[in-house]
Amino acid sequence: DGGITQSPKYLFRKEGQNVTLSCEQNLNHDAMYWYRQDPGQGLRLIYYSQIVNDFQKGDIAEGYSVSREKKESFPLTVTSAQKNPTAFYLCASSMSATLNTEAFFGQGTRLTVV
Amino acid sequence: AQSVSQHNHHVILSEAASLELGCNYSYGGTVNLFWYVQYPGQHLQLLLKYFSGDPLVKGIKGFEAEFIKSKFSFNLRKPSVQWSDTAEYFCAVAPFGNEKLTFGTGTRLTIIP
């Protein structure tokens, strides 16, 4: 099936540990995104990538890092510098928002830091 | 940098009522506009989008939205809602020539049978 796969669905980590969330797409999309969804705050953009080996900070990039070494993969690392990491994380991809193509979303990863 | 405002946080309607959800954006240039919906337990999916041309766009499930450039608005409408429209609705904007896709805070819609 074509789509976006995020893994794992649930993730628990101890405070102070870095953790990496996986996002893979087989849609041959150029653009990929990471959002954080918190109740009452909608989707806030963490990082986005328009093309392989290039990415830009979104609105809340502090405490996060990404890489885009392959077109189909855009992993997100939540570092110990992120002050409030417990949240629902959504990955998305699109052919091109500039060309008005829609974004497709993964099922999300719920990260809980204890 | 662009931003999106959705002023209605939670809307409760009876079935067959008419719906209008507000969306305003701030960005000085040309934009592409989107409405997404998230049904309970499901992925976000596209309802409709505006790129250029007719400012009144029609989407799936009887939804439509009107782009009013002078008001920086892209409000979502449906003439008669159904119980199955209960969901969270998100407005999003992407500046032309840039892949930065920014979402609003969302509006939770509850339809009472």
Asked if A59 and B102 come within 8 Å (Cβ–Cβ), the reply is yes
| Average pLDDT value for chain A | 92
- The C-alpha angle with vertex B6 and arms to A89 and A92, in degrees rounded to 5, equals 30
Q: Output the pLDDT for position A112.
A: 95
Q: Output the pLDDT for position B99.
A: 77
A residues 50..109 contacting B (CB < 8 A): 50, 56, 58-59, 90, 92, 94, 96-98, 100, 102-107
Report the candidate in B105, B98, B96 with the shortest Cα–Cα distance to residue B21: B105
Strand duo B73-78 + B64-68: pairing: antiparallel
Measured between CA atoms, the residue of chain B closest to residue A54 is B99
Chain B environment of A45 (Cβ under 8 Å): 100-103
Q: Output the pLDDT for position A1.
A: 56
Confidence of residue B91 (pLDDT cuts 50, 70, 90): very high
Report the candidate in B49, B48, B11, B6 with the shortest Cα–Cα distance to residue B26: B6
Q: How far apart are CA A89 and CA B28, in angstroms?
A: 30
Interface probe for B, chosen from A29, A102, A110 (most Cβ of B below 10 Å), is A102
Residue percentage of chain A with pLDDT more than 90: 79
pLDDT value at B98 more than 60: yes
Residue found by looking up tokens 């701030």 in the block: B26
pLDDT in tens, B59-85: 999 999 999 999 999 999 999 999 999
Measured between CA atoms, the residue of chain A closest to residue B44 is A105
Under 8 Å between Cβ of B27 and B95: yes
- B113 min Cα distance to partner chain A (Å): 25
Chain B environment of A41 (Cβ under 8 Å): 105
Residue B31 identity (one-letter amino acid): V
pLDDT in tens, A41-63: 889 999 999 999 999 999 999 99
| Average pLDDT value for chain B | 94
Burial class (CB in 10 A: 0-12, 13-18, 19+), B41: exposed
pLDDT value at A98 more than 70: no
* Region at A19 (left for phi over 0; alpha for psi -120 to 50; beta for the rest): beta
Q: How far apart are CA B56 and CA A6, in angstroms?
A: 35
Q: Output the pLDDT for position A2.
A: 66
Enter the DSSP assignment of A106: -
Strand locations in chain B (E): 3-5, 10-14, 19-21, 24-26, 31-38, 44-50, 56-58, 64-68, 73-78, 87-95, 102-103, 107-112
pLDDT value at A24 more than 70: yes
Confidence of residue A100 (pLDDT cuts 50, 70, 90): low
pLDDT value at B47 more than 80: yes
Find the chain B residues whose C-beta atoms sit closer than 8 A to any C-beta of A: 1, 6, 9, 32, 34, 36, 43-46, 49-51, 90, 92, 94, 96-106
